[in-house]
Amino acid sequence: MNVQAAYKPQKPTLIDIPISNNGGRCRFIMRKKKLMDKIDIESPKVYGGMKTDEYLALNPQGLIPALVFPDGQALWESDVIASYLNDKYSDEGASFELHSPEDRANDLLARRMIDSYICPIQGCMYKDMDIAERADKLKRLAFQLNVLSSIIKGPYVSGNDMGLADAALFPTLTFCNVMLPEVFGWKQAFTGSKLQAYWDFMQADADASQVIKEIEGGLTGWKESGRFEQKGIIEQVANKDYQWAY
Ligand SMILES: N[C@@H](CCC(=O)N[C@@H](CS)C(=O)NCC(=O)O)C(=O)O
């Protein structure tokens, strides 16, 4: 899509903020492929925010991340950006290629789990919503995390090789790992044993750990600014007519 925007990137630029889990998926690939000098990262503030006409001309969904180019083109949807980076820079840095149709299918399934089932309800951990909706979505999140656990082959999502699903999963798991215990009182975020082992494995990866720190930093900011009180979440969770911990 061609746009006339006041902000003109000098090189391919990921529009993103550190707390973004969908952006974290792209930032991990950028780190693994050593693209940090080739691709800039800018906040959507350079367009005045995500809902301005300038930004909506690039990403009509008004969401981050987006990958914008000096010629005015843009890509959006983190899975699309991740696939593009893997394709465009296939010869650089780490590989995300998997070697059997079965492993590739499992990788795609895990990415579908994140994009179609988990990210659409993750807001139950931190967005405004009424108590019944939050409790229902939290229950669904607990179920989906267990489904996710069941498809992990280990040590990576699809076995011995890293795939694009590995970039997709751990940033969202970071949200769960912080907020499910701290805000909703879970004993541990990952009750599925394969998911816990997977989380431990990814946390030990230096590049993943950088992205995890970026996201955790944003979540600490939310906590310190009183977000969970302001959104009424702490008050809702005190209501024991609903189940909050799984
Ligand atoms: N399916 C989209 C989801 C993008 C998305 O929801 N991004 C969040 C940040 S991680 C966002 O922009 N939220 C702002 C909002 O909901 O207004 C993707 O994978 O890129």
Tell me the C-alpha distance between 206 and 219, whole Å. 20
- Taking residue 6's Cβ as centre, other Cβ atoms within 10 Å add up to 9
As a whole number of angstroms, the distance between CA 178 and CA 27 comes to 20
pLDDT the model gives residue 206: 98
Distance (angstroms) between ligand 1 centre and the Cα of 62 equals: 8
Per residue in 189-208, pLDDT (tens digit) is 998 789 999 999 999 999 99
Q: pLDDT tens digit string along 54-74?
A: 999 999 999 999 999 999 999
Q: What is the pLDDT of residue 193?
A: 83
Is residue 188 over pLDDT 90? Answer: yes
Asked whether 77 lines ligand 1 (CB < 6 A), one says yes
Residue 182: CA atoms inside 13 Å, Cβ hemisphere, count?
Answer: 16
Question: Is the pLDDT score of 235 beyond 70?
Answer: yes
pLDDT, one tens digit per residue, over 1-39 is: 444 447 999 999 999 999 999 999 999 999 999 999 999
State which of 26, 28, 43, 63 you would mutate to test the pocket of ligand 1, scoring each by most atoms of that ligand within 8 A of its C-beta. Answer: 63
Report which protein residue has its CA nearest ligand 1's atom 10: 20
